[in-house]
Amino acid sequence: MGVTKEGVEASLKSKLSPTHLEVIDTSGGCGASFAVEVVSEQFEGKRLLERHRMVNTALAEEMKDIHALSIKKALTPAQWNQSAA
């Protein structure tokens, strides 16, 4: 079986300690394609490319079976709060 939404969530939670996390399986259930939104204090002081690399690194094992990962948002808590205002 492919990667599960729950597996992606567990890896991101354990490695990035997000204050907000949304994972959507965009593959229709086969686990080959996901879209994610991640808000983490670990992104403070990091450029967008560095944040995306952090997400990809956190999912290194899962990426062996994922064909597409769309990182919709990779924000700090302050940026997340501003976007919600």
Please give the pLDDT value at position 54. Answer: 98
pLDDT in tens, 37-75: 999 999 999 999 999 999 999 999 999 999 999 999 999
Local confidence band at 31 (pLDDT 50, 70, 90 cut-offs): confident
Domain boundaries, the chain: 5-77
Helix (H, G, I), strand (E, B) or coil at 64: helix
* Residue 12: partners with Cβ closer than 8 Å, 6 or more residues away: 18, 21, 23, 36, 38, 55, 58, 59
Alpha helices in the chain (DSSP H): 5-16, 48-58, 77-84
Q: 5-77 in CATH: which number?
A: 3.30.300.90
Percent of the chain whose pLDDT exceeds 90: 85
